[in-house]
Amino acid sequence: MDEQPVYDVLIAGAGPAGATAAYFLAKGGKRVALLEKATFPRDKRCGDAWCEPALDILEEMGVIQQLDAEGAVQWVRSGGLVSPSGLSFTSPDEGEREAAPRVAAIRRMVCDERIARAAAGVGAALIEGAAVSEVKLGDGRWAVRCKDGRRFTGRCLIAADGAKSKIARSLGVVTTGANSVASRQYIKGGTHRFSSDGVLLYPPYVLPGYVALFRHSNGDIDLGCYVLPGGRVPLTKLKPLLQTEVAADPYVRAALGDHAEPLEPPGLSPLRLGGEPTTHGERLLVLGDAAGQTDPLTGEGIHTAMV
């Protein structure tokens, strides 16, 4: 029987945090195993907005160039925001946004896989269908067991397994649950009236959270709502909120029109905002949503996970 390799770094979770870490570690000569519980392509509910720091990293990897050439990127060149009082600061003029920071809408189902494949392309071992069930540290090495019985050994462990982070919580590094929640619903292109690339709405009923609309390159839009800490909306009340206030919001109604066709029912995703007091341990690092590395003001966590 072949002897199991000992990796320099085991990474649990191939989202932007884990896959980016895998890319740069492998590129730097480390032996890396990137464990992903699902099999690509896999979905991740998200607003699908990639901000400038994330785009800079994707460019360094060569990922954004490939996706742009394939028509999978919608650059946000028009749009803006709507204030709590209803004042609209939006622009359909692309020229007015040339000096603004870069933002792009890219489906997570597409971009997450490309980052993971880029990591594999520089030497990381991408192992799909590897749902981690147990981790143990002994004799200076981490032993990781997956639900399907596969085992891996590494000198260091990175937990990038999302806002619920079974790994970080099982080790006592993170002791609290997710403190925010977001929704996502795709609306079919050609059935709505939304003409901007991206707009953020800050209606009083969801403050300090917000509602977001981003248009994809095929015309579909991502309609999301973010419930953030400190507001009057409990995390458990987001779904009813979508059916009442969000559905009746005049800007949302105008953007969707009377014939909008949802491609899916609204789905919810937990968020961990504001950071954790401790994100490391012996030969251990917690990254991304697992570490609460999501902006507490915006709920945006892709670029904060990647940098």
* CA 119 – CA 113 distance, rounded (Å): 10
Residue with tokens 């709590």: 84
H/E stretch holding 79: strand 79-82
Alpha helices (H) in 40-165, listed in sequence order: 52-61, 63-69, 108-121
- 33, 284 Cβ separation under 8 angstroms: no
Query: What is the average pLDDT value for the chain, to the nearest integer?
Result: 95
17-47 tens-digit pLDDT: 999 999 999 999 999 999 999 999 999 999 9
Query: Which own/partner contact pairs does 25-32 have at CB distance under 8 Å and 24+ positions apart?
Result: 25/124, 26/119, 26/122, 26/123, 26/124, 27/122, 27/123, 31/5, 31/6, 31/7, 31/123, 32/7, 32/8, 32/119, 32/123, 32/124, 32/125
153-211 tens-digit pLDDT: 999 999 999 999 999 999 999 999 999 999 999 999 999 999 999 999 999 999 999 99
The reported pLDDT for the residue numbered 129 is 99
Q: What are the tokens at 279? A: 């994100």
288-301 tens-digit pLDDT: 999 999 998 888 99
- Give the distance from CA 298 to its chain's centroid: 13
Where do the domains of the chain lie, and which CATH numbers do they carry? 6-66+108-177+273-306 (3.50.50.60), 75-103+180-271 (3.30.9.10)
Residues paired with residue 201 on neighbouring β-strands, in sequence order: 82, 211
* CA 141 – CA 223 distance, rounded (Å): 44
79-111 tens-digit pLDDT: 999 999 999 988 765 555 555 569 999 999 999
The reported pLDDT for the residue numbered 1 is 47
State the average pLDDT over residues 133-147.
Answer: 98
State the average pLDDT over residues 137-165.
Answer: 98
The reported pLDDT for the residue numbered 198 is 96
* CA 257 – CA 238 distance, rounded (Å): 22
State the average pLDDT over residues 106-135.
Answer: 99
State the average pLDDT over residues 138-160.
Answer: 98
